[in-house]
Structure 1
């Protein structure tokens, strides 16, 4: 699979793009279509929101909240949508918010923005950088920061809502806006559905559902391709049980750390042994937790890992082999049947797949908005994962589309390529940054897409 940077360079030409500076979102150079009049009005309105968008974004950025703790962010969303005339429901799966705006007969369009931040310490040096630290349920403290762009997602949705309300005379239909908690844990979407998103709150079934995500590509670039876009994922915990004891008498104990480390070396060979080399899949160990002092053999050890896959059969093969390896390691150390490892599948999601016709339909107005070469429609899928599509619940026949919106300063992006990097920074890193010039561009992307689906013309 080609790197993000290499593919962008080939399709766009990073040198020309970087030197162009901020993308003029009203440019239609090389565009196969012209923007409808209502979209031209929308672009003008959004240009007038620039200062407001920056204020909202910086506020959310400075007050990040972890999964299912997004009370402040949810309150901002609810207050804004209510002021715009949306029928708002709050507290869905603890912090989720839904706003519905009915504007006559027409299609029903659903849009989502995720709200949660990361347990990462920000190191961008920005004057509005996060300094937040929170205590977790287990008593430990962690830094928190928006290092995946969810603060931009919320800002974009609110900017789009403002614009669509200002243009109510220009379109007909119903808008459903969802502010979702806990995307990082890939559990928030399913939690909202379980709590009755569709049945309890009596939402109308959408005709279309779409969402966007930040990507460290240059501002003004949109990636929107049909078919598989992101991998499925599973978060897997393996609890190894042992016999505790004194460090001076290891023969009288059974060390679960040894079992865990032995298993980890075998986990690393699973993908290559059970998945075809022609299929993308990944297994990564992210944490091992055991013991607290030097001279005590602990009673247990926990290995936390993450799976990525596109083929459900590959996923099943990987999970089965994890069970076999884990149990085999414990049995080799003489652990009885009742003390074999406990394997827990936590958050999971299936691959994100774009509807071909829907994706193609949106690309026309997006090319008119940004320019033909800045809308990438032939692009490999990402190994990252999302749970956004699970918000549809049983409505799995609704056309769905997921796009990526560039948020990196084009010059910064170009300099990173010259230094041999694949991108200037990666999501979830302490240096992840949303260029403020991406704020109005993101709003334009989703507003033009919404108008394409709701426009009376």
Structure 2
């Protein structure tokens, strides 16, 4: 079925008439030339960032590199927003305010690509443990094309009017960075946008291609910690304890029925227990422990249904175990993001702009809605009538789609230790061109 959807969508895109808009006709060649002229520098930046990744809210060196370049380009730059976030403003007369966002953080993953610029970095966490760090989701490319877009937009100011805001955001992987920037006074520093554009690289599409698809794109997400309180004791005397290990095990199993038995099967939802941190020794029953949950959803009533069911199941298990009222489970929401949705009219206009500027052969159908998440919508969640647009950027081999259609095999995807952008030069320059064209359309001086 998925293959049929891909084929049908691809046929529709290939049939699209690449209507050239007047605003783009005179600038497309300049955009292409400006993007290509930066290619060597952007690839160098990409490789440096790839070899030196930083975890969420720790992107100090990445942020310094971004802010230094944007200041040199003449942007008004604000740093340290939400910890390490960067916001840059380029005012160019009267017109709309449009924002473009890239994320900066890496992942606690040990890279296994064999690249000569592969990350070998390890860091010490707050608890004293060590972890490898890698850009296994392409945020190094995102930062690189942000800098490329910044230069293109500065050099094409005669073709647009308004205010451009560029965001280098921390901690996307934690689903916390966008909201952290807003909470830390982002809009005390920069104007509120009417449109927010973001893009993400995926190896499912060939490098040199892009996709903008209407409707649901990525799910809303919650990061939820459930803390269980018990009564600890000796492993040989469980009758004198209230065991959080057993409560945790029972809770994990109970959660499996929430989506399968409580949520309407026609409404997508995922509930994952990513970690159980309860106890340390073989012969000690601990006092407490924590379950780390991740929720995915597209409709807020489904989200509330899952949250309510988690509390109902966990509290019931705690009461059955004999937990006192003053030691009932605690629930901590650490990260939240709303779903990513592309307005149909906005997506259609973007497809026309990209087909005209890049050629219709560069336009892919876009993947079906997925349960993965992105937190960039939180940058404008509190702004009335603000719209968002999400673009997929190809980072795979030229034959990736042909191979998938023939065998059903996909390359190592995002968050995999073997994740790799096959042709970073082509992927990054294509993203610079595509996003610049969308920004120029949104800020058209005509």
- Give the TM bin, normalised by the shorter chain: over 0.9
**CA distance in structure 1 between the partners assigned to 2:164 and 2:380 by the alignment:** 15
**CA distance in structure 2 between the partners assigned to 1:374 and 1:84 by the alignment:** 29
Once the two structures are superposed, what CA deviation does each residue of 1:102-135 show, in whole Å capped at 9, x if it has no partner? 1223332211111111111111111101111111
**CA distance in structure 1 between the partners assigned to 2:381 and 2:187 by the alignment:** 8
| TM-score when normalising by structure 1 | 0.91
Residue 365 (structure 1) aligns with? 353
Within-5 A mapping of 1:89-168: 89-168=78-157
**CA distance in structure 2 between the partners assigned to 1:226 and 1:45 by the alignment:** 29
Residue 79 (structure 1) aligns with? 68
| TM-score when normalising by structure 2 | 0.93
**CA distance in structure 2 between the partners assigned to 1:416 and 1:140 by the alignment:** 39
Shift of 1:223: 2.5
**CA distance in structure 2 between the partners assigned to 1:208 and 1:237 by the alignment:** 33
Residue 383 (structure 1) aligns with? 371
Q: Confirm or deny that 1:233 pairs with 2:221.
A: yes
Q: Confirm or deny that 1:55 pairs with 2:16.
A: no
Q: Which runs of 4+ in 1 moved over 6 A?
A: none
Q: Confirm or deny that 1:450 pairs with 2:424.
A: no
Residue 19 (structure 2) aligns with? 33
Residue 34 (structure 2) aligns with? 45
Residue 299 to residue 93, structure 1, CA distance change in 2 (3 Å): same
Q: Confirm or deny that 1:434 pairs with 2:415.
A: no
Residue 287 (structure 1) aligns with? 275
Residue 354 (structure 1) aligns with? 342
Residue 323 (structure 2) aligns with? 335
Shift of 1:439: 1.3
**Which of the numbers 210, 220, 231 marks the counterpart of 2:197?**
210
Within-5 A mapping of 1:318-333: 318-333=306-321
Within-5 A mapping of 1:403-414: 403-412=391-400, 414=402
Structure 1 alignment gaps of length 5 or more: 14-27
Once the two structures are superposed, what CA deviation does each residue of 1:327-378 show, in whole Å capped at 9, x if it has no partner? 1111111212122211222211111222333222211111123433543457
Shift of 1:169: 2.8
Shift of 1:196: 1.0
Residue 443 to residue 389, structure 1, CA distance change in 2 (3 Å): same
Shift of 1:39: 1.3
Residue 270 (structure 1) aligns with? 258
Shift of 1:271: 0.6
Residue 18 (structure 1) aligns with? none
Equivalenced residues, count: 439
**Which of the numbers 363, 387, 391 marks the counterpart of 1:399?**
387
Indicate the larger mover: 103-112 or 301-310: 103-112
Secondary structure at the counterpart of residue 89 of structure 2: strand
Structure 2 alignment gaps of length 5 or more: none
Indicate the larger mover: 380-389 or 75-84: 380-389
Secondary structure at the counterpart of residue 268 of structure 1: helix
Secondary structure at the counterpart of residue 237 of structure 1: strand
**CA distance in structure 2 between the partners assigned to 1:112 and 1:300 by the alignment:** 40
Residue 304 (structure 2) aligns with? 316
**CA distance in structure 2 between the partners assigned to 1:273 and 1:39 by the alignment:** 53
Shift of 1:380: 2.5
Secondary structure at the counterpart of residue 198 of structure 1: helix
Shift of 1:420: 3.3
**CA distance in structure 1 between the partners assigned to 2:194 and 2:389 by the alignment:** 12
The answer (yes or no) to whether the contact 2:221–2:295 under 8 Å persists in 1 is: yes
Secondary structure at the counterpart of residue 186 of structure 2: coil
**CA distance in structure 2 between the partners assigned to 1:30 and 1:51 by the alignment:** 33
Secondary structure at the counterpart of residue 99 of structure 1: strand
**Which of the numbers 201, 209, 221 marks the counterpart of 2:209?**
221
Indicate the larger mover: 363-372 or 96-105: 363-372
Residue 178 (structure 2) aligns with? 189
Q: Confirm or deny that 1:258 pairs with 2:246.
A: yes
Secondary structure at the counterpart of residue 397 of structure 1: coil
**CA distance in structure 2 between the partners assigned to 1:376 and 1:396 by the alignment:** 31
